[in-house]
Amino acid sequence: MPPEKKIPNKAPTTRKPSPRKPAARKPATNKKKKGVLSIQLKLFIAGLLLVLLSPFYYGYVLRSFVATWRWVKDWGQDPNYKTYESFNIKIPKKYTVHGIDVSYYQGKINWPKVKEMKEDEVSIRFAFIKATEGLLLVDPYFQRNWREAPKSGIICGAYHFFRPKKDGKTQAKFFLQVVNVEKGDLPPVVDIESLDGVSPLKMRAELSDFLNYVELKTKVRPIIYTGLKFYEDYLVDFFDDYPLWIAHYYQPKLRLDKSRWKFWQHSDKAKINGIGHVVDFNAFNGDSLALDRLLVR
C-alpha cells in the first residue's frame, strides 16, 4: 500500500482591514460671524427702506421720469419750439420776454397768480388789455384789469378794436376818453383785423386818421396789431414807420423780417394760472432792456 501523501498545510490567509473613511464632520457654525452678517443685512434693509420711502428719492425719480418722457415726446421736433406743459402750448425758445393779451372774454383775472406763474424761465412780463371797440363799446373788464395788472408788476398797454366803417379820428377820441396813457405803459395799440365791407383804400385812410390823432395827443407812436395775412394783403408798405404786433399761430418762426415787428402773438390757446379761459400768448422781439426803451416816457 503506498504511503499517504501529506498535504501541506496552507497558511491561513489574512485580510488587511479596509481603511475606514473618516466620518464627515459638519463645519462648526461660526455663530459670531452669522450674527454680524445678520446685523449688517438688517442695517442695509433699513437704509434701503429709508431711501425708498424718502420724498427726496421720489422727487428725483419723478424728475428723471418727466425729463425722460419729455425727451421722448420731443423726439424729432424743432428744438427751438418747445412744449411747455404748464402753459399747455408750444413756445418759441429764442425769446426771453413773454406776455399775454386779454379782454372781457377771460373774465375776472387773478393777476398775482398770473405774475407768479413760471416754467423754465418763461413768465408773464407784459399784458395788452382791451379798452374800446368802434365808437361806443367799452370792455367791461378794462378798468379792473388796467388797475390790478400793474399792481402785480406786469407792464400794461391798452388796445382799441378798430372798425373801418367808422370815422377813424372819432374812434381815436373815444379811445383816449377811456384810456389815460401814462409813463411806464406800453404804447397804445390799434387792432385792425378786417375791412368790414369797405375798400382797402378807405380802411387805410380811416386807420391813418386814428393813428395820427392818438400820436398827436399822447406824443407816443401807436402799435398796429393785425394778422400776418391781413398785413401782407392790405398794410405792407403803407405803415412802415409804426411798430407791428403780428398774429401768426402755432409756428416755430414768424414768417416776417425780424426788423419789421415788435410783438408776435404765436398762440391763442395758452393756459395761465389765475385765468379761467384760454389766453393769447405773445413774444417780444428783444430783451428786457429793449422792452424798457419802448415804454412811454
The closest of 167, 295, 279 to 223, measured between CA atoms, is 295
Spatial CB neighbours of 86, under 8 Å, sequence gap ≥ 6: 117, 119, 271
Measure the CA–CA gap between 205 and 113, rounded to whole angstroms. 42
Measure the CA–CA gap between 242 and 133, rounded to whole angstroms. 21
3-state helix, strand, coil in the chain (%, to 5): 35, 20, 45
Q: Residue 9: what are its φ and ψ, rounded to 5°? A: -75, 125
- Region of 76 on the Ramachandran plot (φ > 0 left; ψ -120 to 50 alpha; else beta): left
Measure the CA–CA gap between 248 and 72, rounded to whole angstroms. 27
- The set of catalytic residues is 101, 193
CA 8 to chain centre: 118
Measure the CA–CA gap between 78 and 83, rounded to whole angstroms. 10
